[in-house]
Amino acid sequence: MKIRIAGVLLLLTGMTVANAQQPINLIPQPVDVQPQRGTFTLTKTATIGYDQPKAQAAADMMAQKLNAPTGFGLRPKAGTKASIQFDLNETPNPKLGKEGYTLDASSKGVTITANEPAGLFYGMQSLLQLLPKEIESKTPAQSSWTIPAVRITDYPRFGWRGIMLDVSRHFFPKDDVKRYIDELARLKFNTFHWHLTDDQGWRIEIKSLPKLTEVGAWRVQRAGHFGNRLDPKPGEAASYGGFYTQNDIKEIIKYAQDRNVTIVPEIDVPGHSMAALAAYPELSCTKTPVSVDPGTAFSEWYGNGTFKMLVENTLNPSDEKVYEFLDKVFTEVAALFPNQYIHVGGDECYKGYWAQDPGCQALMKQLNIRHVEDLQGYFMNRVEKILKAKGKKLLGWDEILEGGISPEATVMSWRGIKGGIEAAHLGHDVVMTPTTFAYLDYQQGDNDPPIYATLRTKKSYSFEPVPDGVDAKYILGGQANLWTEQIPTLRYAEYMTYPRGWALADVYWSPKETKNWDKFVPRMEAHFDRADIAQVNYSRAVYDAIVRTSMKNGKLTLTLESEVPNLDIYYSIDDTMPDAFSTKYSQPVELPDGPITLRVITYRAGKPIGHLIVLSRDALQKRAGR
């Protein structure tokens, strides 16, 4: 009898193993995922088909993605009965919209269906994530190319799902920009905001204004932390930089279009214009020659959001030559970029030089305005008229609300969500991109080089783009921003983008109701493995301890926690290196007086997993005052 029972148990166990599904770890999380029994195994005899010419692009790209790691040499063909089939609905499914899709995988094969080619593209991205991680290899790899049987219905929550890359502070060559766009498209981001001009460089060729790239695209070479670098020396060669020719721009736009990514260019005015003024100083108030800034301390910030520029970096709003200049710039930009928006910046515009300029004072008198801040409203309205004449819509940071803008203008809310709420209540379309959730240049943990603030992946994942009391119809979606003051290479840009970019992909695509951090973590960790094979860089700061302090009854109190659940935290304050035999954290600790140094490390399953964090007493004391 015991033998029979054991045999039955063994049989049942065998059935469980045989029917076990490989985990489905998709980012972003689809609307509906229904696992089924069985798997489909991709072999060299597999076929890829498409039912309409418009579906061929997705089939072709699928073949390219599969052939490198598998070595199968698959070639798509028109038809309706392939192993991997891409079909466009003859009668659109209203639930799917323009970007949604269904994916049906069984032991017989896979069918992806959509209303539009964009949906087929996104279905293809999900299918690639269903394959083993070795599919990310750029060279032939060994794997059992199985796909779990599953039925997926999926469509995005928001129409605007963006990431901004600043190429002014550091120039990123054309191929780097393409790779970055490719990575975003795989996560179903559909908007690439390209920050092309700023104080540190002008990156787009304007043929009617050649000095913008002859002069404005180059600066002196400098090392060290941004904001503390040395000024250019007299006669020093400006050798660091670069720019995109108009042919480069067209090539990158086409590359993005093939991946269903819209590029929104940004020409940052009237502030952040030092590179433009280095080329054409006559467009400033003082007409004083300036250099393209290499990252010096050219401004003073006072901690309450106000600041003073020590070097002029602002266009003169009272000079008609400025608007002639902008008309030339936007004529060429509008001709290059097919999308409806041009981003015009509008942020952090210092008005001090305007206040001292006779021309600006005369203009204020003519306009019957008392405050110099209102000149920005005048400037932006002039810019908007230029854009409208070229068939484009104005998009800008939330400062464009100051001084009044037309109802057609679209606002990016970056100083928290307050500006977005105000703009929505005024009837403006809004893209939510607040520093508090979406600024990818911020530190991810204590081990990152210091910059303005810290933003952890869990905080990004908690972002809700539609604030309470706001009509959701005005919220186009959300965006992450990667400013590159401290990011000189694509490799480091990737490190700063991921995993926070994965978290925000969920925020902008997936249903609000499915958000769950603990369930996101295993999906994120699966993508760590895939990124390793794809040679995409990322941060592991999610495994690092979070160190907080407070003052209680005159004593410095330490609190430790982790983003990822089920980590063990060990620490020392006796100048020893902590390990799994050190003091394990369980509750807040009252720290002793004296010049102690805290060392903290995290473990999982008996193995170290996080970085070692080292903080002096002074650093701990400062945290208590935050």
Place of tokens 């490390």: 601
Handedness of CA 419, 420, 426, 428 (dihedral sign): positive
| Dihedral angle of Cα 206, 208, 211, 217, to the nearest 10 degrees | 0
Packing angle, helices 517-534 and 500-509, rounded to 10: 120
Say which of 193, 272, 527, 611 is annotated catalytic. Answer: 272
Which tokens sit at 33? Answer: 């995922």
- Nearest 5°: CA angle at 45, between 42 and 48? 70
| Dihedral angle of Cα 483, 489, 493, 494, to the nearest 10 degrees | 170
Q: Are strands 583-584 and 262-269 parallel, antiparallel or unpaired?
A: unpaired
| Integer CA distances (angstroms), 131 to 44, 75, 526, in order | 15, 19, 12
Closest CA to 279 of 315, 333, 247, 244: 315
Q: How far apart are CA 343 and CA 194, in angstroms?
A: 9
Q: Is 348 a catalytic residue?
A: yes
Closest CA to 567 of 595, 533, 608, 514: 608
Local structure of residue 244 (DSSP, 8 states)? B
Cβ-based neighbour number of residue 516 at 10 Å = 11
Place of tokens 């020719």: 245
CB 401 within 8 A of CB 351: no
Reduced to 3 states, what is the DSSP secondary structure of residue 48? strand
Place of tokens 């896979």: 110
DSSP bridge partners of 571? 583, 600
DSSP bridge partners of 198? 201
Place of tokens 């008198």: 365
Q: How far apart are CA 525 and CA 508, in angstroms?
A: 20
Local structure of residue 390 (DSSP, 8 states)? T
Place of tokens 């919209």: 97
| Dihedral angle of Cα 568, 569, 570, 571, to the nearest 10 degrees | 180
Give CA 417 to chain center in angstroms.
17
Q: How far apart are CA 204 and CA 321, in angstroms?
A: 20
Q: How far apart are CA 199 and CA 396, in angstroms?
A: 17
Say which of 236, 348, 525, 529 is annotated catalytic. Answer: 348
Reduced to 3 states, what is the DSSP secondary structure of residue 465? coil
Residues 6+ apart with CB under 8 A from 73: 44, 67
Say which of 99, 198, 266, 446 is annotated catalytic. Answer: 198
Q: Is 214 a catalytic residue?
A: no
Cβ-based neighbour number of residue 322 at 10 Å = 23
Give strand ranges (E) for 69-195: 77-78, 84-88, 101-106, 109-114, 146-154, 160-166, 191-195
Identity of the residue numbered 471? D
CB 222 within 8 A of CB 295: yes
CB 555 within 8 A of CB 591: yes
SS3 per-residue string spanning 402-430: CCCCCCCCEEEECCCCHHHHHHHHCCCCE
Catalytic residues: 198, 272, 348
